[in-house]
Amino acid sequence: MTLYSLIHNVRNSVRNNLKRLATSVDFNICINSVKVHEHKQGILHSIINACDYIPKACNYIPERMMITAGLALACCSSPIISYSKRDQTQLTDLLQQIDANLPIITQDANLATGLSNYQRLQNYELSEYKPIQFTLPNGTLEDGIYKQGESTAPLIIGSFGFFSDVHANAVYNFTHIVREEVLQDYNVLILNHPSSAPFYCANGEASWGGIEEGYIIIEIAKQMKEQFGISHVHAIGVSMGGNGVMHAAYRGKRVLDSAIAFSSVTDFLDVPGNTLRSLRNDSEFGPTFWSITGWLNSIGMKMLYDGFEEERKKNPACKGKPFTLEEIETIYLTTPHYANAERMKEYLAPYIADKILPEKMPSSLEEYLSMSDTTHIASSIQIPLLVVHAHDDAVVSEHHYYRFMLAGRENPFINGIMTTDGGHWGFSAAYGTKFVACLIRTYTEYWSMPKLKPESKCF
């Protein structure tokens, strides 16, 4: 018997026993949330079932089930712990009911991250997608790839973080998610992140995204609606792309139906600033410090650099000698992109009008990145935004999630999910691509359709 078969059988056995237990005590056992408790020696972990409404039923369940070697056999149907139900009780309950694979990869953020995003996409894997280019009102050029689905289906616009072009590792993960049956009818647009090589080559200057990316996503959403007659548009962002999607949510009222940010950076001065400061002794981000996580992240950053250089070398607009790592770092850390006053006035206009930011143009890169901190806009977002993060994210710490959720705690448009496992955009390895696809499907349909009909394949 294979390990997978063994775990599958154990999982079914546990579920069947719980069902019999619920029947024998005549109660519905509520297993909406999962909490992981660390053993005193840091070796063992436990999973407890939360019975939100029927305490008596909990008397029949062992308080702790100790699992060794980081292998958690969760006896519940969903890894979701909701941050707040607020006014979205029905939606939160639906998200908690989505079925998930048994989380084999637990308490190992780097493994979950690596297995979900382990390679770049090749052109032959993108046969369903067609190249598409946009010219924005301010002259910015943006490229992407587009998969046309059913005419009545929603459009998902995806952006995937630092240096991520349409072949990036994170996009490899995403394309497998949208191939799941529950999303196959969706229209999908994948953009080059503003920090990517194709964007740099097309526009001649390095960009970091943030506030600018929010503008780009909204302008592209308008063009897609007009060109393809699409009624419902949702933005999905990962990591630094999540930051841009949050800014798109702020300025996207009457353009976007909803937005989802996975593993999102909320403070650019922490990530990727924290990684970049270790690359230069004179970094404006502050002094360097060493850690295991920082070392592993630097390996990941090297992979992103390799992808950047691969794309730059084959781009006709970027012909020339190969860049060294130091040259790439210098390009991004000294970019003149935000010195353009007219461009910045256009990007910052709504922020200044709403008194979110002072009427002042950024005088340095650090100042622009500080302006892009999404806690500034958390209370002012006026479209539904779901923030999804993993407790064990080793690239973008969970405090990015909590600081944003606390800043937006009075905003009924914002809801969030903190999962126990998943690393950095590694939910596919932890819980299965179908789980992520169903999460996207359920949330976007909830805000697209006048009456939601839950996809039976997800529950």
- The CATH number assigned to the domain holding 123 equals 3.40.50.1820
Q: Are residues 142 and 253 in the same domain?
A: yes
Whether residue 30 is found in the same domain as residue 115: no
Out of 46, 70, 94, pick the residue that ends a domain. Answer: 70
234 lies in the same domain as 378:
yes
pLDDT band at 255 (very low <50, low <70, confident <90, very high): very high
The answer to the question of residue 28 being in a domain is yes
State the burial class of residue 319 (Cβ atoms within 10 Å of its Cβ: 0-12, 13-18, 19+). exposed
Question: Regarding predicted confidence, which is higher, 438 or 62?
Answer: 438
Rounded distance, CA 4 to CA 102, Å? 10
- Lowest-confidence pick of 13-22, 55-64, 163-172: 55-64
- Give 83's contacts (C-beta < 8 A, 6+ positions apart): 387, 405, 415, 416, 417, 418
* 224: in domain: yes
Residue 368's pLDDT band (cuts 50, 70, 90): very high
More confident residue, 88 or 330: 330
Residues spanned by the domain of 12? 3-70
Please indicate, yes or no, whether residues 215 and 356 belong to a single structural domain of this protein.
Answer: yes
Secondary element (H or E) of residue 188: strand 187-191
* 322 DSSP assignment: P
Q: Does 60 lie in the same domain as 134?
A: no
Of the given ranges (48-52, 154-158, 205-209), which has the lowest mean pLDDT? 48-52
Residues 126 and 226 in one domain: yes
Sorting pLDDT into bands at 50, 70 and 90, what band is 104?
Answer: low
**The domain boundary residue, chosen from 70, 95, 117:** 70
> Per the domain annotation, does 326 fall within a domain?
no
With 50 as the cut, is the pLDDT of residue 317 above it? yes
Of residues 203 and 319, the one with the higher pLDDT is 203
C-beta of residue 390 within 8 angstroms of C-beta of residue 138:
no
pLDDT at 400 over 90: yes
Q: Is residue 33 part of a domain?
A: yes
Check whether residue 133 and residue 266 sit in a common domain: yes
Percentage of residues of the chain with pLDDT beyond 70: 72
386, 242: one domain:
yes
Instruction: Evaluate whether residue 180 is within a structural domain.
Output: yes
Q: Is the pLDDT of residue 197 over 50?
A: yes
Cα(348)–Cα(212) distance, integer angstroms:
9
pTM: 0.80
Tell me which of 45-54, 216-225, 360-369 is least confident: 45-54
Q: Is residue 307 assigned to a domain?
A: no
Do residue 19 and residue 150 come from a single domain?
no
392, 265 in Cβ contact below 8 A?
A: no
Are residues 58 and 156 both part of a single domain?
A: no
Per-residue pLDDT at 269: 86
The Cα–Cα gap between 365 and 367 comes to 5
Given a cut of 70, whether residue 350 has pLDDT beyond it is: yes
Domain assignment of residue 98, yes or no: no
Last residue within a domain, chosen from 53, 70, 87: 70
- Residue 108 pLDDT more than 80? no
**Is 297's pLDDT higher than 70?**
no
Q: Pick the more confident residue, 78 or 193.
A: 193
Q: Does residue 207 register a pLDDT over 80?
A: yes
- Identify which has the larger pLDDT, 19 or 137: 137
Domain count, the chain: 2
Ramachandran category for residue 382: left, alpha or beta (phi over 0 → left; psi -120 to 50 → alpha): alpha
What is residue 158's DSSP assignment? E
Does one domain contain both 239 and 352?
yes
Specify if 381 maps to a domain: yes
Task: Let me know whether 56 and 126 are in one domain.
Answer: no
Name the pLDDT band for 449 (thresholds 50, 70, 90).
confident
- pLDDT higher at 114 or 211: 211
